[in-house]
Structure 1
């Protein structure tokens, strides 16, 4: 498969994942996502989950549907989102909050290493990295 096709498929898959996660924020996984909101966030946990869900749906849609000329900017925004929510993953680990099958400290710790993968994926699939 040509590298261009791989990047396009990766971008679509990432976008679909964001849309799915965003829908989860608003519906079936709403309580689980609240477990990841650090206590220091000034908004109510449910408000934070709803707003981040809307942002994820919008960003996932943009990754899939936006014109090619905007993909680098959208990729940087997606990477920024993954960096911005990382404190939630740290909070889930440090507070031993179970959600999404992450019911041990070892699993929550291992999850921390996936966030940099998402950042790389967002940048690589939108041609921000060669």
Structure 2
């Protein structure tokens, strides 16, 4: 395999678990939107509707990652999504809000908060928008 083919195969294996994670949590957002209401920041208008829309966005991102013509837009959308939900993750962590089914300790919250930028990178890499850190170096 030549480097572009290897990179293309690599992106596929990065996409699969990302799609599984966003697919699962998207379904959870739609099935139990009220469970997420306590972690919604007070400044978010119509929080229940926002939770439902986020679930739909996650599922749309999964479909977009699966369909090559939409892949770049899906990667951008999921990266922006990861940035937009960060305030809810912060509220959840710092206000000690209990959400059924989720751990309620810093052993859960610290890695989750630290991992948020990784989700941004992951969406962009899996969609073929960025190559970092595996891009080919020119002149070597």
Q: Which TM-score band (shorter chain)? A: 0.7 to 0.9
Instruction: Report the more deviating stretch, 47-56 or 102-111.
Output: 102-111
**More RCO (CA 8 Å, sep 6+):** 1
Give the TM-score taking structure 2 as reference length.
0.78
Corresponding residue of 2:44? 41
For structure 2, the 5+ residue unaligned runs are: 132-140
Corresponding residue of 1:63? 65
For structure 1, the 5+ residue unaligned runs are: none
Say what the alpha-carbon RMSD is for the aligned residues: 2.0
How many aligned residue pairs are there?
A: 126
- Where in structure 1 do 4 or more consecutive aligned residues deviate above 4 Å? none
User: Does residue 23 of structure 1 match 2:27?
Assistant: yes
Distance 1:36 1:15 in 2: 24
1:104-119 alignment to 2 at 5 Å? 104-119=105-120
Partner of 1:113: helix, strand, or coil? helix
Instruction: Report the more deviating stretch, 105-114 or 77-86.
Output: 105-114
Corresponding residue of 2:91? 91
